[in-house]
Amino acid sequence: WHIPSAETLTTRQFLNLVSGAAGTKLKIRSASKFFVSVLGIFSPIMRELKEMMYQWENDYVVDHSKFMNTFEFETTPHAEAIRRTLDWYRQKL
């Protein structure tokens, strides 16, 4: 089973929500497979990232309908979760 999540967004859409809520300007860059491969020589984490790049290169959407049909569960919308997280973070600074 997959744990439920709010509406499906691309990574770019999610990061735009975060930057908008944080009041910052967003600059997104991506790393090529070759670059990640080179970094993987020195970093085990980057080596693992290369194997998981398909999740960022193609649509990767999971279906949580089985869970939702079995349990009463309500997801938190992304904008609200981001706002709460930023509020918490700012209080901890």
Per-residue pLDDT of 56-89, as tens digits, reads: 788 878 888 889 899 988 999 999 999 999 999 9
User: CA torsion angle for 75, 86, 61, 46 (degrees, to 10)?
Assistant: -140
Q: Domain count for the chain, please give it.
A: 1
**Structural domain boundaries enclosing 51:** 15-92
Does residue 20 lie within any of the structural domains?
yes
What's the predicted TM-score (pTM) here?
0.73
pLDDT above 90 coverage of the chain, percent? 53
Q: Kindly state whether residue 5 falls inside one of the protein's structural domains.
A: no
Give the mean model confidence (pLDDT) for residues 18-32: 92
Domain assignment present for residue 41? The answer is yes
Between 19 and 50, the higher pLDDT residue:
19
What are 47-56's pLDDT values in tens digits? 999 888 888 7
Domain assignment of residue 10, yes or no:
no
CB 11 within 8 A of CB 56: yes
